[in-house]
Amino acid sequence: MAGIIDTIKLAGTLVLALPAAIAGLELVLIRGQTTFGVALIGLAVGLVVVQHWLTLPTDIPELLARRVVGTVAKEPEPEAEADDES
């Protein structure tokens, strides 16, 4: 389920980042205003990177749940299974 939520978050970020990137490409390639164009492209890339790597307060319950599940439901070690079969 986390995959679906992550996909929705990425789509929301791309709604903001893609118009900035397209405007930046237009400024660089068509109008020749490289400073503003590169700044807009950098902003678009920065939005996606920050969204991917930044932990927001809304992400904390999900992170805590993953840690709890990882500590409570540990998989048995392969050596312990081999000892039980002998």
Q: Based on the structure, what is the number of domains in the chain? A: 1
Burial of 66 (C-beta count, 10 Å sphere; 0-12/13-18/19+): exposed
Q: Which of 18, 38, 42 is nearest to 27 (CA)?
A: 38
pLDDT number for residue 18? 96
The rounded distance, in Å, linking the Cα atoms of 58 and 62 is 8
pTM of structure: 0.61
Domain span including residue 29: 2-85
Q: How far is CA 44 from CA 6, 30, 31, 53, 56, in A?
A: 18, 19, 19, 15, 19
The rounded percent of the chain whose pLDDT value lies above 70 is 79
Q: Which of 3, 14, 2 is nearest to 51 (CA)?
A: 14
